[in-house]
Amino acid sequence: MTCVGYGKIILLGEHAVVYGYPALAAALDRGVTMAPVPTPAGGPLRLDLRAWGLAVTAGDDHPVGKSLAAIADALDAGRPPLSLIGDAQVPPGAGLGSSAALAVAVARALCTHGKRPLDIATLTRAAGVSETLVHGRPSGVDVALAIAGGTGVFRKRTGLAPLAGVPPLRVLVGPSGQPRSTAAMIERVAQATGSLGDDPRLRELGALTDAGTAALLAADLATLGGAMNRAHTLLAELGVSTPQLDALCDAAREAGAYGAKLTGAGGGGAMIAIAPRDHEPAILAAWKSAGVDGFVTTVR
């Protein structure tokens, strides 16, 4: 049986969500899949994910080897003689929730193999242990979306509130190809705000999530796009954009986007845009000429 963890995009609210503000996020129609294959002759608990060039053993020095061990421990799964054979349709470290997608797929595969219940609380706790190892101080939004799929508003205190009846939204996604560390970007925001949740920029990012959510539900893409543009400016003020991401956002707007912004932690990673459908090819072409292979995904 193949077990999945979805990738995600954050439409509005990244970084502010770490301080308790809401984030509007949506699962991608792609992520990480993992098949548990027993090794009857015995052997270690291993993970192979060729798409990311990964071949690790639980507990080895590789960060994913440590995560695998941490997830197995959180599930009380021991070290079964098992190979987790994975595939991925999102790039790693690109701001598309790849690490949470991996952690959730691994947790699901270990539960499936051990015939353990696959309840949301157990998966959230096990994948969360891995995310804390990787990111230090995650809000939990990535894990919630990787488990649940769909679109929702996430708050650290109350978790994911799925949004019902969201009109399908086409989103252009541009992985910049620039690697970055989520933990380092979270630290940068902590320094910019003095770790104070009532920083006016964080407050405004939270308010933009509320306004953008209402606009999404009303299929008012111009208003949603305006909120995304403003969010990008605020994220840049907090120090998590880059000249490349700014240029890609500008290119998307010049090619007719309603709005464009970085998504996820920033410092590289990915950006997103929404646009009238007949402008999408021009935006993808503009990104392509800047060396970025974008794609269109529909979130719902």
Q: Which active-site residues does the annotation give?
A: 142
**Binding to ligand PMV by residue 142, rule CB under 6 A?**
yes
Q: What is the Cα–Cα distance from 131 to 140, expressed in whole angstroms?
A: 8
265 binds ligand PMV (CB under 6 A): yes
Least separation, in Å, of the C-beta of 101 and ligand PMV? Answer: 9
Give the list of residues 6+ apart from residue 157 with CB closer than 8 angstroms, or none: 20
Q: Which range touches ligand PMV (CB under 6 A), out of 14-22, 34-42, 219-227, 281-289?
A: 14-22
The residues with which 101 forms a beta bridge, in sequence order, are: none
97 is an interface residue for ligand PMV by CB under 6 A: yes
Burial (CB count within 10 angstroms: exposed 0-12, middle 13-18, buried 19+), residue 277: exposed
The yes or no reply on residue 205 touching ligand PMV (CB under 6 A) is no
**Shortest separation between residue 142's beta carbon and ligand PMV, angstroms:** 5
Number of residues that bind ligand PMV (CB under 6 A): 16
Q: Which residue is nearest to ligand PMV (CB)?
A: 264
Cβ 292 to ligand PMV shortest distance, Å: 16
**Contact between 269 and ligand PMV (CB under 6 A)?**
yes
Stretch that binds ligand PMV, among 139-147, 160-168, 170-178, 279-287 (CB under 6 A): 139-147
Rule CB under 6 A: say whether 213 interacts with ligand PMV.
no
Output 83 or 213, the one with its CB closest to ligand PMV: 213
Q: From the CB of 99, what's the least distance to ligand PMV, in Å?
A: 7
Of 156 and 170, the one with the shorter C-beta distance to ligand PMV is 156
Q: Over the chain, what HEC string results?
A: CCEEEEEEEEEECCCHHHHCCCEEEEEEEEEEEEEEEECCCCCCEEEEEHHHCEEEECCCCCHHHHHHHHHHHHCCCCCCCEEEEEEECCCCCCCCCHHHHHHHHHHHHHHHHCCCCCCHHHHHHHHHHHHHHHHCCCCCHHHHHHHHCCEEEEECCCEEEECCCCCCEEEEEEECCCCCCHHHHHHHHHHHHCCCCCCHHHHHHHHHHHHHHHHHHCCCHHHHHHHHHHHHHHHHHCCCCCHHHHHHHHHHHHCCCCEEEEECCCCCCEEEEECCHHHHHHHHHHHHHCCCCCEEEEEC
CA dist 91 → 86, 94, 142, 174 (Å): 13, 6, 15, 11
Nearest approach, Cβ of 83 to ligand PMV (angstroms)?
A: 27
Residues 28-57, mask of contacts with ligand PMV (x by CB under 6 A):
------------------------------
| Contact between 139 and ligand PMV per CB under 6 A | yes
9 close to 26: Cβ distance less than 8 angstroms:
yes
Q: Does 141 bind ligand PMV (CB under 6 A)?
A: yes
Taking the least distance from each CB to ligand PMV, the nearer of 46 and 201 is 201
Of 3, 17, 216, 228, the one binding ligand PMV by CB under 6 A: 17
Q: How far is the CB of 261 from ligand PMV (least distance, A)?
A: 13
If one asks whether residue 95 binds ligand PMV (CB under 6 A), the answer comes out as yes
Per CB under 6 A, residues contacting ligand PMV are 14-15, 17-18, 95, 97, 135, 138-139, 141-142, 182, 186, 264-265, 269
